[in-house]
Structures are given as C-alpha cells and as structure tokens.
Structure 1
C-alpha cells in the first residue's frame, strides 16, 4: 500500500507541476510592463505627442472588474463550496476561476461568507463543509473528496489531472491522502482549530443579532 501511495502521489504531483507551469506569474507580467510606454515617444515631433498621450491613457485605463462581484454563470453544471479564508485553497480556486471564464460551468460559493446559506446548498452547513471539499452537481447530487476535485477539473478541460483517481486502488489511496490533508489543513495554514472558528462565528452571529453593527 505504501508503494502504491507513493506512486499515486508522484503521478499527481507531476501532473500538478505541469498544470501550474502553464499559468502566468503576476510578478513576471508586472516586470514586463513596468516601464512607462510614453518614454518611447520622446523623439516624436511636438505635434504628435498629445494625440499619442491621449491614445495611451485611454488604452491603459485601469479596469474596475472584481471577480467576487461577477455574476454566477446561469448554466452551471457543478457548484464548488470553498473556504475563502484558506490561503492554499484559494490558489486552486483562483486557478479554476480563471479557467472557468472560458467554460462558465462552475458556480463558486464561499462558505466563509456571511451570506452563505445551507438551505440553498443541499442543507450542507458550515461545519460539515469545513471538514472536507464538497461540490454539488446541477441535479442536486453531492460529491466529496477527490471525486469532487475530479468533477470540477473535468468541467474546465482539466479532467486528465485526476483521471487516474477513477480506478482502484488509486481511488482509495487518493481519498486517504486527501483525508489527511483535510484533517490537518487548518494547522498547516496557521489557523486555529475548527472548534475555535465555530465559536468565533457563533459569537459574531449573536452580536449581529443583538445590534445593527453588522448591518453597517
């Protein structure tokens, strides 16, 4: 079993490394665009400087889009319930969000949000979803663990990443490995135990219910 587990980890590790190698690095992009484009036009005659400046300013006007405020896809096929307070989790969520721009098949739901509703998500409360990854298919079917990742990745053209986990004994081994990660992810990311988080959320809810502080 140990040898199979090692083989499974190596395969998944290599595939994930290949996947992330295709993703752009923001620092590299910023380094390519850090120079001021207007400097290249200093040699132009005075008559051309102002039109060029106007065109340049119109072209590079900052965008005001916010991923969190973008509308959910209308024809989603799977809903991903994710912990928005988990920094490692958000790296994967953001990658899937970027891919989903071309597919529109995943609906992302942040369970850490005050607006999260268990009633709207097959009765899955915060404590349950914090324990392990959950996804909900458009027909209401709930999938968890590695199967949830496999379904999500399939919807954005990356099914090959988790394809091997369809088969035994790899499926069982992969779920076992993920269970270890799910059990210790709060500690790994430097967060307090789940009981402490739940207690803090409970106190926050009590304060919000007793005052208008959370409505401001």
Structure 2
C-alpha cells in the first residue's frame, strides 16, 4: 500500500486526540503525520488553508475534509471498510456534509476540550 501523508493542526486539542488515536491504530506505519502548527512542516498549499480543514495526500492527490479522513481510514486495516464505503458518492457526500457542520462547531468544541484538559 502506498504511504499516505496527513497534515493536522497540532494546536487543536481535538486534532491532537484524533491523530494520537490514528497513530496508535497505524501499526504498519503507512501514514506520515505532519503537524501544520509546527513552523518546520512544509506545506503543499497555504498554511491557513491546511489549518482550516483536514488534508491528506493519497497517491499524489491532495484531498481535504471527509475525503481526507476516508483516505486515512483506508490506510488503517481496522478502519479500511469505512474508508472504502466513503468512495461511494452518496456516503462521501453525507460524510462531507457532516464534516462541514462539525467545522462550524469546532471552536466551541476546542474550548470545551481545553477546559477539560485544564482540570486537575
């Protein structure tokens, strides 16, 4: 299987948790995770655009949103069925619709997670 590159926002507590879970599941090391919040990370597009939406590169094709998540899922055996299902036009469209709604609430969710992490 071709290696996958995933760019994520290391400054986002939600993103850090999600990526930590994916790293644990990626036992074969098929995914290269790059923290966009780090100045050392080279970006294929504008850093602001990478921070605004989830991005991945699969077989040389840059993907964003639900398509990027689906690519990541396809690289992890346990999640591969979900990633393959997302190739269906209707499933992919539904996932993108949900992802866009999530993005609307992401700032509030980030504040909530940050406040919970700050508790003793």
TM-score, structure 1 as length reference: 0.47
More strand by share: 2
Distance in structure 2 (CA, Å) of the matches to 1:96 and 1:188: 19
Distance in structure 1 (CA, Å) of the matches to 2:80 and 2:2: 17
2:76 equivalent among 127, 140, 156 = 156
Listed as ranges, the matches of 1:168-207 within 5 Å are: 168-190=89-111
Listed as ranges, the matches of 1:9-88 within 5 Å are: 77-88=3-14
Listed as ranges, the matches of 1:112-151 within 5 Å are: 112-118=37-43, 122=44, 124-137=45-58, 139-151=59-71
Aligned residues: 111
Distance in structure 2 (CA, Å) of the matches to 1:110 and 1:135: 12
Residue-by-residue CA offset, 1:34-74 (whole Å, 9 max, x unaligned): xxxxxxxxxxxxxxxxxxxxxxxxxxxxxxxxxxxxxxxxx
Higher relative contact order (CA 8 A, sep 6+): 2
What stretches of structure 1 of length at least 5 have no aligned partner? 1-74, 192-216
Assess, with a 3 A threshold, how the Cα gap between structure 1 residues 185 and 86 changes in structure 2: closer, same or farther.
same
Larger radius of gyration: 1
For the Cα contact (< 8 Å) 2:72–2:83, is it kept in 1?
no
Identify the residue that residue 90 of structure 1 maps to in structure 2: 16
Assess, with a 3 A threshold, how the Cα gap between structure 1 residues 159 and 90 changes in structure 2: closer, same or farther.
same
TM-score, structure 2 as length reference: 0.79
Distance in structure 2 (CA, Å) of the matches to 1:165 and 1:174: 8
Distance in structure 2 (CA, Å) of the matches to 1:151 and 1:117: 20
- Aligned Cα root-mean-square deviation (Å): 2.1
